[in-house]
Structure 1
């Protein structure tokens, strides 16, 4: 093939013996002394490795007891000018990730199971990486592996949008993330890791948990919100890491009373205290005579080391542990504090633009009056239909936007989200006094239901035609998003304020005896901060409240 930047050797295996009879002298030289990536595979499993002495490495594999390499029937070997010590770690990790994600959608009886027991060597950036990915990895996948029948999806584009790829414990880490994981792994203290939306906190969680259970054989607890439990379990299971990792909500792990070497807590700002506005199911874990014993305290009783991933401005309910109480616990336990600063989720890639994702995040915080930050308002002013940000005039236009994006990007996660400004009537059975067939309606033609469940919502059939609430998408990445900024938020006298009458999250409203509009306003503003920071590649917004829209236009300099 003209312009090919790599070489490939395909070998058959029988009972662990390689058939190299057809190999040329140059190929035998590569097999003996060349830098290569190799993939063993059979009908039910695969294994990815790297070496600079394949034949010797193969002999060692055959002597191993933990993995029966004689089960494999073939091996494909990648070599060439770009396959060397700089790129091998990267290619090995990416192939493990892509192969795992490719297999996940298949029926169980058709899946090939990953047999790697570790995640390989740590990634270090190297020159010409983009060229290696474009001219080696992509054609190797789409031509060699696809034609060999090893993979089902020919294009890598769709796989990059999968949950298993985005949160893979084999993913490329920034220097900031790598250093943080190394410090936690090598240390003995507990950590509070703070970062705003999209700074890669969940990626740190999956990579940290994987390294701890692989390299130390530790018993690792992973705490996530209920809408992410199934997803987290599937990620660790798919990469063969489920044995020493226990995933659950804080409530589930507290009830189990199991001891852990370390507990890693995602969305730690959503840990709960014994609030009057508490879900009745969770009250059984609390001591009514000791208000200190919130979920953070009780998790700390299960381990000598906590790692908390935290963003104070994503607390959205009165039952979330108050900021002061949270900080008091961190100080009392002498936790190490670290910050994640690099933005990964939002990818503002408007043609010719000089503004960045940070400008978008800072602009949202300024508009919502969460934090006053400097930003380039041009990120909100680009009139192009392909711009990252845009404002529309109706809810159905939001659905039109995400539906159109889905046609161009079939594997993308595209959803419409909204503030909790409608009752959840569709949740009840017909005949119930609060039942409603639809929760959101513009006219007879345009009507929608809330998300029918919080748990694993975006993975479920039909969710594209529903409106997602904060409880279905907190902690989740989406590719394209439409957001209804509803009438639960307005602007009065220059202040962005909640409208209690238009806010319908029963457990999200401060108790009557201590109700504070300023407290409710903080929760609702922070809900919209979360909704408006879900979109990776694009977002469209519809304002129901004219005063709030006018305020937004003033803040971002739009007419």
Structure 2
């Protein structure tokens, strides 16, 4: 017996033209429902919830300035159940929206929904609604009607569009931060948030909410180059691509200078990657910066309001503004904290926050011992002895859980000799390229691309560098902590000759071993914080492994 029922209404100029039975009329007047307006021809959709569909339908038709003309919808699917109450229909609305956004690149739907800034809903039969209503609705009615392309929920859950959806339910703290910024958009804010704490969800929600509530607001949006495409697709799917265009810092600054443009507010995702002038950096990354300049001050010159979503431990290159300089430049900013961990769970004894604090302490990036060491003795985390074991860890989990995303990732401790831009590799097929890793009789290449590397089919056979993985989530991660760090007098230090990132090494005349050490350890912090369900680590330098084990209680 099904846990829900549906009524598929046919609409002509907003009028319901079905011949309805008495019980259906009763449902539309009296029952809590989630509903989906749609027009398959013009690819428009709206998902809503109400305690009285007839009343809500009349309100939609009477709106004076709707985002989309409701008379143009040709159908409305109304979902009802004896399990439904206000919390359930709100949660079901959110689930449908977020999973539909996840495949917006293939369905090309444009959503007429606004942003309601909804916080996470907790209710007693939530798991039953997910499995018995939502999953079945998605794979049956929604798929059959052509409202969804992919019936596989697990695949969609791994999509970046799903993870960064602006319809995501916010944590109370995320909602509090959005509300505070909206009250005074001309202020400057530094939102400090560690890996996996929901910076990017906050980014899309805040941008969407500001655009909806302030139609004339000039909003600038900045993220890293490998994520601009995903964010722009999200905002296109909600019909705001003309107002919300996501760019890199250099693109936004150059565009503002060229067109003499100013913004009311600029929101910067991954603000730890803002750049300073650096002579050794890539020309495209510094053509907007003169000697002594950095992007933060230039951004302040083109906006009144500025929001930085920032993690001091994720600056990984000398062209990133140093944390000490960020602290100095943001002395007058309003400081906000976002610490709840969403990427890494826990088992009740420990939390994801314990794990992040632990790896920071284990890598000597922090002196804070206040974390539960049980996280490092749980099935979530393991240290393996050989390169082969870390490769096997990912291989085993990929076969056991074929719908999960699992990758081997490593510090930049090998040259990228398989780089296709190298003269000697021009015109070669992938299988003809040389190997970058040759250990334990196993040959592997670095990531063949940076953009969307995780989503590429061959990435399962490659090893990802920091530039291919930063900003992405994995289910199971196999992390190689390479020979670019060692131990000297009880301290972890960089081994400069083993660090192979050409653009990431400080200039010779400005060389600082402590500075390079900080960059490399930040890289390992990022790599170790990618896995949602499990993490295996192989240390090339056993002295580093010994220090790490001692500090995390192993």
TM (norm. structure 1) is 0.89
1:167 aligns with 2:164: yes
Cα 1:71/1:405, change in 2 over 3 Å: farther
* 37-46 vs 217-226, which moves further: 37-46
- The superposition leaves residues 146-196 of structure 1 with CA deviations (integer Å, 9 ceiling, x where unpaired) of 344433333433322221111111111110110111111121311100022
Cα 1:66/1:512, change in 2 over 3 Å: closer
1:489 aligns with 2:485: yes
Alignment of structure 1 residues 55-204 onto 2, 5 Å: 55-62=54-61, 67-104=68-105, 106=106, 111=107, 113-120=109-116, 122-123=118-119, 125-128=121-124, 129-188=126-185, 189-204=187-202
* 7-16 vs 188-197, which moves further: 7-16
- The superposition leaves residues 377-431 of structure 1 with CA deviations (integer Å, 9 ceiling, x where unpaired) of 332234xxxx211222333433332233233433432211110101111114453
Q: Residue 350 of structure 2 corresponds to which residue in structure 1?
A: 355
Q: Residue 403 of structure 1 corresponds to which residue in structure 2?
A: 395
Cα 1:126/1:443, change in 2 over 3 Å: closer
2:275 is paired with a residue whose SS is: coil
Cα 1:73/1:395, change in 2 over 3 Å: farther
Aligned match for 1:284, one of 261, 265, 287 = 287
CA contact (8 A) 2:418 2:435 kept: yes
- The superposition leaves residues 323-357 of structure 1 with CA deviations (integer Å, 9 ceiling, x where unpaired) of 232222212xx2110011111111234xxx62322
Aligned match for 1:514, one of 500, 510, 515 = 510
2:283 is paired with a residue whose SS is: coil
1:419 aligns with 2:402: no
1:381 aligns with 2:404: no
Q: Residue 468 of structure 2 corresponds to which residue in structure 1?
A: 472
CA contact (8 A) 2:446 2:465 kept: yes
- The superposition leaves residues 428-482 of structure 1 with CA deviations (integer Å, 9 ceiling, x where unpaired) of 445379x9711111255x2122122322322333222221111122222222111
CA contact (8 A) 1:227 1:454 kept: yes
Cα 1:452/1:555, change in 2 over 3 Å: same
Q: Residue 310 of structure 1 corresponds to which residue in structure 2?
A: 310
2:330 is paired with a residue whose SS is: helix
CA RMSD in angstroms comes to 2.4
Between the aligned partners of 1:429 and 1:317, the Cα distance in structure 2 is 22
Instruction: Report the CA distance between 1:69 and its aligned residue.
Output: 4.0
Between the aligned partners of 1:283 and 1:358, the Cα distance in structure 2 is 35
TM (norm. structure 2) is 0.90
Instruction: Report the CA distance between 1:551 and its aligned residue.
Output: 2.0
Instruction: Report the CA distance between 1:117 and its aligned residue.
Output: 4.0
Unaligned stretches of 5+ residues in structure 1 = none
Q: Residue 295 of structure 2 corresponds to which residue in structure 1?
A: 295
Cα 1:149/1:66, change in 2 over 3 Å: closer
Instruction: Report the CA distance between 1:362 and its aligned residue.
Output: 1.9
1:425 is paired with a residue whose SS is: coil
Between the aligned partners of 1:395 and 1:239, the Cα distance in structure 2 is 45
Instruction: Report the CA distance between 1:375 and its aligned residue.
Output: 2.7
2:87 is paired with a residue whose SS is: coil
Unaligned stretches of 5+ residues in structure 2 = none
CA contact (8 A) 2:387 2:440 kept: no
Between the aligned partners of 1:213 and 1:442, the Cα distance in structure 2 is 52
Cα 1:121/1:36, change in 2 over 3 Å: farther
1:255 is paired with a residue whose SS is: helix
Q: Residue 439 of structure 1 corresponds to which residue in structure 2?
A: 436
Instruction: Report the CA distance between 1:205 and its aligned residue.
Output: 0.7
CA contact (8 A) 1:277 1:318 kept: no
2:480 is paired with a residue whose SS is: strand
Q: Residue 334 of structure 2 corresponds to which residue in structure 1?
A: 336
Between the aligned partners of 2:506 and 2:544, the Cα distance in structure 1 is 23
